[in-house]
Chain A
C-alpha cells in the first residue's frame, strides 16, 4: 500500500496499466492487533495472463523497478517475437530464470512448454460438485543448483535477510535461502503467462504462507450460465432407456 501511495509509482502504473483489485484472503483483529493478511501485485497481459508478480509488501523503489521491468520486457519481447518468432511465454520464462540466476545465484531450467490441460467435459476429469474450487497449489520447478559466477555476489546481497526468506532445496540436495521475490522468479520461470486464477493460490499459499479464501473466486469466476442442476435419478433412468 505504501508503495502505491508514491506519486512516481502511481503515475507510471496509471500510464502503462489499467488497475484493479480483488480480495482473496482475510485477516483477524485480535485485541486491536492485526493478525495475518498479505498482498500480492500481478502485472498481466490484457487477457489476464500473468507476466510477473510482486509478493508481499515492498517499498516504492522495488515496485517501480518491477513495473518498469515488465513494461520494458513486453516491448523487448514484442520486438524479439517479431524477429525470431520465439513465443512470448518462452521469453518471459527465460528472463525470470535469468533474474533468479543473476540476483539470487540459483540456476533453474525454464519450462518453455505447457502440457495440454485436460478438457472440462473429459470423462477422466473430476468436476467438483460445489462449483469451481481454488486450483491446487502448483509445484515449483526444481532448482538445478548454485551458479558459481553469481552465487557469491548474491550471498553478499544478504539473501537471508530478504523478506519471507525460506529454505529451498536444489536437485543436488543443497539447501539455499530464498526470499519471496526469488521464489516468485522460480514460479514464473515455469508458469509465467499462465492465467491469474492458476497462479494466485500458489503465490498466496506457497510463497506468502496465507490461506486463500475461495469466496471471491466464486464470485469473479461465476459460471452460472453454464451450470445446470442434475438429478442423478432421472439421469440414470434416461441412460437406462437409451
Chain B
C-alpha cells in the first residue's frame, strides 16, 4: 500500500517538474522567458514577421539541448 502511494507521489512529482520549467514566464507580462530577462517569441520566422511589423531586428539564439528546461541546456 505504502509502496503504491510512494510510486504515485513520485510520478506526480516527475510530471510536475517539466511543466513548471516549461511554464517559466515573466511575472509582469506573462510572456515566456525561460529563466532569462528576454521575452521569447515562437519560431524564427514568427519572430521575423513580428520584427518587420514592429520595425525591430531579430535575435536568434542557437543552443544545444532543450532550452525550455534549464537542466537540459
Q: Chain A interface (Cβ within 8 Å of chain B)? A: 1, 4-7, 9-11, 13-14, 16-27, 36-48, 51, 67, 70-71, 74, 196, 200, 203-204, 210, 220
Contacts and interface: CB of A to CB of B under 8 A. Distances in A.
Interface string B42-73: 11111110111010111111111111001001
10 contacts: A4-B36, A16-B56, A17-B58, A18-B54, A24-B62, A40-B62, A44-B48, A46-B58, A51-B57, A203-B62
Nearest to A60: B37
Of the listed residues A21, A45, A48, the one surrounded by the most CB atoms of chain B closer than 10 A to its CB is A21
B64 A46 contact: no
Given A16-B56, A70-B57, 20 more contacts: A1-B70, A7-B37, A10-B36, A14-B39, A18-B56, A18-B58, A20-B42, A22-B62, A22-B63, A24-B64, A37-B65, A41-B59, A42-B59, A44-B57, A48-B44, A67-B59, A203-B62, A210-B64, A220-B44, A220-B45
**Max chain B Cβ within 10 angstroms of own Cβ: one of A9, A42, A220:** A42
Nearest to A5: B36
Contacts of A13: 37-38, 59
Contacts of A210: 64
A74 B56 CA distance: 11
A27 B57 contact: no
Contacts, number: 148
Interface residues of B, number: 32
B59 A39 contact: no
Interface in B24-44: 35-44
A6 B37 CA distance: 6
Q: Is the interface of A mostly helix, strand, loop or mixed?
A: mixed
A20 B59 contact: yes
Given A1-B35, A19-B39, A20-B59, A47 B48 contact: yes
B33 to A, nearest CB: 8
A21 B37 contact: no
B64 A39 contact: yes
Contact of B38 (A10, A23, A39, A74): A10
Contacts of B36: 1, 4-5, 10
A46 B56 contact: yes
Given A1-B73, A46-B52, A196-B44, A22 B65 contact: no
Contacts of A70: 57
A44 B59 contact: yes
A22 B64 contact: no
Contact of A18 (B35, B41, B62): B41
A18 B59 contact: yes
B31 to A, nearest CB: 9
